[in-house]
Amino acid sequence: MAHRITIKQRRSRTVVSGATDPASTCLAGAMGRELAPTGTSAALQRIPARPDVSDIDVAIVLRLRRGSVEHLRVAEAVTVLGESSAVKMIAELLQADSNAVRRVLAHLAGAGILDGCRFRNREAGALLLRGMRVDQRRRLHRRAAELLYDHGAPVSEVAEHLVRAGGSRCSWASVVLRAAAETALVLDQLSRALDFLELSYRTTTDSRDRAEIASTLAAIEWRVNPSTTTRNFARLHAALRGGAASVPALREAVRYLLWYGRVDDVRTALIVLDRNSSIAVTDEYAFQRVWIGYIYPELAGDGKIDAAAESEQIGGEVSAYRLAKGLLAAMSADGAGESTVTAAHRILSRHRLDASTVEILTTALEGLIHADKLDAAAAWCSALLAEASARSSPTWQAIFAGLNAEIALRQGRLDDVSQHAVLALNQVPAENLGIVIARPLACHVRALTASGRFDEARAQLARDVPLGLFDSRQVLLYLNARGHLALATGHVADALVDFQLCGALMRHWNLDLSGLLAWRNDVAQVYLAVGDLPRARAYAQRHLDLLGDPERHGSGGESLRLIAATADPADRVVLLHRAEAIARRGEDRLELARVLGDLGRAYGLLGQESRSRSLRRSAMRLARYCGAEVLYRQLTGDPAAEPPSPPADAAAAGLLTAAEQRVAELAARGLRNRDIAGELAITTSTVEQHLTRVYRKLKVRRRGELRFILSTRC
């Protein structure tokens, strides 16, 4: 309103005269009397404080619209300005005289509509605002944003008006919107932050700024539902491909591309980042680079860890990123000791969960898991899971619920495993979990297998997983779970292939670590199942040799238990008592149940029935506590609980004969069939027959795969 506001006396008329206005009639009924004229404020009537609210709202808006233009415009300005409403601001917004505005406000207050510069009934103000013409409302909000910016109002308040105005041509608008989004993110107001950033993206012309905004938008969406089909992920991906992404945008892009297994795109981004001297020396990027190589070993490149040098960093007063980098070094060297545990606790106790700390916090949790400090890991993980839930981040919940599932699995708490795994799998659509799906899925399959729910386990393995998973260390958990299901259902050949593939990948990636996965113990179980005791003993013993001390890790006790199964009853008891001592010091109740069950059977073979029954009863109680129904039924002597007997030719179905082994090794070295025949003094036809059986048993198609699989030999 460009003209000067004046207050004109008009003939008074009541709201309900003639009862022609239904809203007014309703209002009068609620009051119990007709409205009286107000004297000098002829256009307005006195409104009581506490009658029916909805009727009052309608009546107020009707009276304002039927009254003078001056009253209506001031009321609209009050509504638009909201908490910033004041005489001076209203006058500037309407380009009117302050004294005139003050007189109108006094009349509106006298009528009971306003209380100072606020509506007595907030809903009436909102109703008035919705009834304005869209272009007029946007123009007022745009003008309000400019005024508030000039007066130094908080950026969040200015940004709200910019959003309601649909944008502004002012040069400062984009900066204000991004600053307001940062404030909203600190308060976990994700929808509000998305609105601010979306408008900033639309009003910004600089391609690098747009790429940074797109990366932040993708980060917010990732917290809620990490999908590759969103508009913002497409924007970020396009900026990356077009070379328009800035360094901060590239770093954010790498995180999400890794989540989805887009390894080739990550390589492209890393080439640019590694050449950028401004970030190459920062602790944050140094950690991110090593973390990338930790998750995707093929991407280690310059991020390969100098374990000796980095492990020294975890004892001093250094940044959280350097501490986390040192943790990765210790885990990669299989050297998780007290310093590792101390560093993990320092990170977890000093840093709040947010988008910039998710990776270092998960690294700290994995450090505790690697060091077998499972109770501590469970406590921290549950706290982070609760925080993720309170801060409305389903993606973070999925991450920490998956870690909780792995912790529970290592402790033998199968019911808790399934609970945490299902929580992780249901937080966001499974197809949007990326490679992270492997951990909860694998843990769920392991728990279902141990519970005897084989059909459900198979159904879980039928889920689609991203192709990029097979470039990630997460695939080890997946293959391990698939192998255990195959072993439990009598498919020993399939189990052996999965376990040996785990070993081949771990060796290929220089990750042959006891704290990560004891794949040799798994292979030993397969050989025990088919009665090949020498090979079973050799694999379990090799794991012990690599550990150095069986008490160093819980898997050492498992190796002793497996070796005991190949020994005579007297030696078996000695080995099992050593395994029992390790299991009791550890936190895996299910492994303790297995040891006690085997110990009970061993004493039974020695004729000590009383001791045997006592140990078996203890094992049964533990198995029932853990939810391990298969083990429980085996301990009770239920024949149906025993895994299906391997076929008579089980050894031939999955294990190579000596002749096949010799042919396979020569073929893996690249020799032609004719050369192999000459080397072994057999016919070419015999070589072909041996190779056909080798390919079928090991489930490979070419000699390159054969060389890879054969690298797992003990």
pLDDT tens readout for residues 296-326: 998 886 545 554 444 455 555 678 899 999 8
pLDDT over 90 percentage in the chain: 39
- Cβ(87)–Cβ(102) under 8 Å? yes
Q: Which residues pair with 115 in a beta bridge?
A: 118
- Length of the chain counted residue by residue: 714
Q: Which of 53, 64, 85, 63 is nearest to 14 (CA)?
A: 63
How far is C-alpha 706 from the chain's CA centre? 36
Measured CA to CA, the distance from residue 665 to residue 691 in angstroms comes to 10
What's the mean pLDDT in 222-241? Answer: 81
- Cβ(472)–Cβ(435) under 8 Å? yes
pLDDT tens-digit series, residues 590-646: 999 999 999 999 999 999 999 999 999 999 999 999 999 999 999 987 555 555 555
Confidence label for 410 from pLDDT (cuts 50, 70 and 90): very high
Q: Which of 328, 296, 332 is nearest to 344 (CA)?
A: 328
Q: Which residues contact 214 (CB under 8 A, 6 or more apart)?
A: 201, 232, 235, 236, 239, 249
114-115 and 118-119 beta bridge pairing: antiparallel
pLDDT at residue number 567: 94
- Cβ(647)–Cβ(630) under 8 Å? no
595 exposure class (CB count in 10 Å sphere: 0-12, 13-18, 19+) = buried
pLDDT at residue number 431: 84
Confidence label for 712 from pLDDT (cuts 50, 70 and 90): low
pLDDT at residue number 122: 72
Say if residue 713's pLDDT is above 80: no
Say if residue 457's pLDDT is above 80: yes
Q: What b-and-e string marks burial along 244-266, b requiring 16 or more CB atoms within 10 Å of the CB?
A: bbbbebbbbbbbbbbbbbbbebb
CATH class for the domain made up of 656-710: mainly alpha
Q: Where are the domains of the chain?
A: 17-132, 490-641, 656-710
What's the mean pLDDT in 109-113? Answer: 75
Query: Tokens standing for 317?
Result: 């007063």
Instruction: Determine whether domain 490-641 maps to CATH 3.40.50.1000.
Output: no
Measured CA to CA, the distance from residue 547 to residue 545 in angstroms comes to 5
The per-residue pLDDT of the chain, averaged, comes to 81
Measured CA to CA, the distance from residue 565 to residue 367 in angstroms comes to 32
What's the mean pLDDT in 546-557? Answer: 89
**SS (HEC) of 638-679:** CHHHCCCCCCCCHHHHHCCCHHHHHHHHHHHCCCCHHHHHHH
Q: Which of 244, 241, 246, 192 is nearest to 220 (CA)?
A: 192
DSSP state of 33: S
Measured CA to CA, the distance from residue 93 to residue 271 in angstroms comes to 52
pLDDT over 70 percentage in the chain: 82
Ramachandran class of 114: left when φ > 0, alpha when ψ lies in -120 to 50, beta otherwise: beta
pLDDT tens-digit series, residues 468-501: 899 999 999 999 999 999 999 999 999 999 999 9
Measured CA to CA, the distance from residue 330 to residue 342 in angstroms comes to 12
Instruction: Look up tokens 């392991």; give the residue.
Output: 446
CATH class for the domain made up of 17-132: mainly alpha
pLDDT tens-digit series, residues 270-282: 888 888 766 766 8
Confidence label for 137 from pLDDT (cuts 50, 70 and 90): confident
- Cβ(579)–Cβ(568) under 8 Å? no
pLDDT at residue number 714: 59
Domains 17-132 and 490-641 share a fold: no
